Amino acid sequence: MPAPYQVGYHVVFLLVFSFSRMVLSDDVHASIKNRLGNGENLSIHCQSKDDDLGQQDIADGSEFGWDFSVNAWGTTLFYCDMEWENARRSHFDAYSFSRDHTRCETQCSWLISKEGMYGMNGQTGFWEFMYDWPN
Ligand SMILES: *[C@@H]1O[C@H](CO)[C@@H](O)[C@H](O)[C@H]1NC(C)=O
């Protein structure tokens, strides 16, 4: 009488499969582009509760990116410290689930310029001015 067991197995498999997709399918690519100009280098250090991405030096015109999965609790957060011109420092959240899960669902790109920070809005496909530099 294998039939009932077979049905049960498929149902369980489907449930597990759906659940793991729900948890793991939200892959996001974050990137930070240096557009400071004048050959200005950008030094950046990003981390989350679980990952330390280390100190990265981004040459003018280059970018640094990484991939991650958002957690099922909606608390994923990557924060960064950055420094340029040996004096200007800033701190920002590269990805915060509450702010970004609709704005940049799969692609969270930042552009660092002299005027401030631009973020790519994944829904509209446009760069948006997000943060001014504090004086
Ligand atoms: C940026 O870094 C490169 C490589 O370390 C260096 O050659 C260059 O002088 C730096 N640019 C500035 C503006 O300091």
Sign of the Cα pseudo-torsion (124, 94, 134, 55, in order): negative
Does the pTM surpass 0.75? The reply is yes
Range of the domain at 111: 27-132
- Per the structure, the count of domains in the chain is 1
3-state secondary structure of 6: helix
Distance 39 CA to ligand 1 centre (A): 7
**What is the tens place of the pLDDT at every residue in 49-92?**
999 999 999 999 999 999 999 988 899 999 999 999 877 899 99
Indicate whether 128 belongs to any domain.
yes
CATH of the domain at 117: 2.60.40
Coil vs helix vs strand at 101:
coil
The residue whose CB lies within 8 Å of the most ligand 1 atoms, and thus the one to mutate among 41, 55, 62, is: 41
Residue nearest atom 9 in ligand 1 by C-alpha distance: 39
Structure tokens at 38: 């004048």
> pLDDT digits over 97-132, tens only?
999 989 988 999 999 999 999 999 988 999 999 999
Note the pLDDT tens digit of each residue in 17-30.
Answer: 555 545 554 689 99
- Residue 81 domain flag: yes
Compute the distance between CA of residue 108 and CA of residue 31 in angstroms, rounded to an integer. Answer: 6
Q: Does 4 map to a domain?
A: no
40 lines ligand 1 (CB under 6 A): yes
Residue-wise pLDDT for 5-19, tens only, equals 565 666 655 555 555
